[in-house]
Amino acid sequence: DASLEAVEAILNILIEISRLDTGRLEPDITSFPLADIFERLKVEFAPLAREKAELELRVVATRAWVCTDRRLLRRVLQNLLANAIKYTPRGKVLLGVRRHGSELTIEICDTGPGIPKSKRAVIFKEFERLEETAASVRGLGLGLSIVERIGKVLGHQVDLRSVPSKGSIFSVRLPRAAPGVVESAPVSVPAGRIAGLTVLCIDNERSVLDGMRVMLSGWGCKVMTAQNAAEAVDRLQPGHAPPDIILADYHLDSGTGLDAVAAVRAAKRSHTPVIVISADHTPEVQREIRKHGHAFLRKPLKAAALRALMHQLTAQRPVAAE
């Protein structure tokens, strides 16, 4: 299964590169607050950073608005953050913004091994990786190639500053936009089946819970959060219906997400649908989750996959009158 997934991932990336090169990818330029993307990136990448005990991921809050393609910008930042976390064994990875008149620069800074000056052009080519890290870190050498191509499609300058043994700063310069009214992003599933859901999120990291609240609230959900089984049970109000769905991290500080889910279900005597989310992709963990009848999603979490699975698991619930 893992081999097939790897081949599928390579094919999808190559197709995307082809679309970028042939001009078949049309940008959808809108104005929006950067905070939307930053919060979702924090939710997506915080678990990966936590896997490295000596690495801190810091996302600096911003009120800036930008004018660009939301989906393509997020893809650029996903690739840059993924690389920064992957190649930085300890220290810090930081995502932040600097303003420059009518423009701003989004920067991803890391305290990784750095990139020699002679290799800084090479790393943006397909399947090119640094010899110093290729043996110890898995990868395809395609992420930065896509970053550069998207930058050209959008007309955004992508720069790199690096000091070997000290770290690197990748930056993307793009136009600022005047703050305005946030428009609801289109969704790929019927909004009525997501909006109005009561969702219980269980994760031992407060920052992850905060990010999940922002994302799910943006979909119209009512969100409750808990860091462990005891907190989860405490969130359930006597006489009120159980949550419509539970999203639980597998690894908690005390016990597992499965334990917390069992406690909630027992307290409410319900069979609330459950999605267990984990960065642990081992067959043993997946079998354990499915043995309990729960759905499983991998970290880093993809918003579209979560939304679609939530819709699938709650599609039979009664829809509130509008």
For 182-228, the pLDDT digits (tens) are 444 443 444 446 888 999 999 998 888 988 888 898 888 999 999 99
Domain range enclosing 247: 191-314
- 118 token code pair: 């002679």
Identify the CATH number of the domain in which residue 32 sits.
3.30.565.10
Same-domain check for residues 168 and 265: no
- Does residue 300 have a cis peptide bond before it, meaning omega lies within 30 degrees of 0? yes
167 in a structural domain:
yes
pLDDT (average), residues 158-173: 94
Residues 123 and 100 in one domain: yes
pLDDT of amino acid 22: 64
Q: What is the pTM of this model?
A: 0.55
Token pair in block for residue 202: 């269980």
At 302, list the tokens.
């993809």
Six token digits for residue 104: 């701003």
* 250 plus 283 within the same structural domain: yes
Domain-located, residue 75: yes
Q: Does 230 score more than 60 pLDDT?
A: yes
Higher per-residue confidence, 299 vs 79: 79
Quick check: is 217 in a domain?
Answer: yes
**pLDDT > 70 fraction of the chain, expressed in percent and rounded:** 80
Give me the number of domains the chain comprises: 2
Do 224 and 160 sit in the same domain of this protein? no
CA 148 to chain centre: 20
Sole residue written with tokens 């405490």 = 234
Start-to-end Cα distance in the chain:
44
Q: Which residues of 160-169 are buried (b: 16+ CB within 10 A; e: fewer)?
A: eebeeeebbb
Q: 105-125: per-residue pLDDT in tens?
A: 999 999 999 888 877 777 777
Q: Which two tokens stand for residue 186?
A: 């289109």
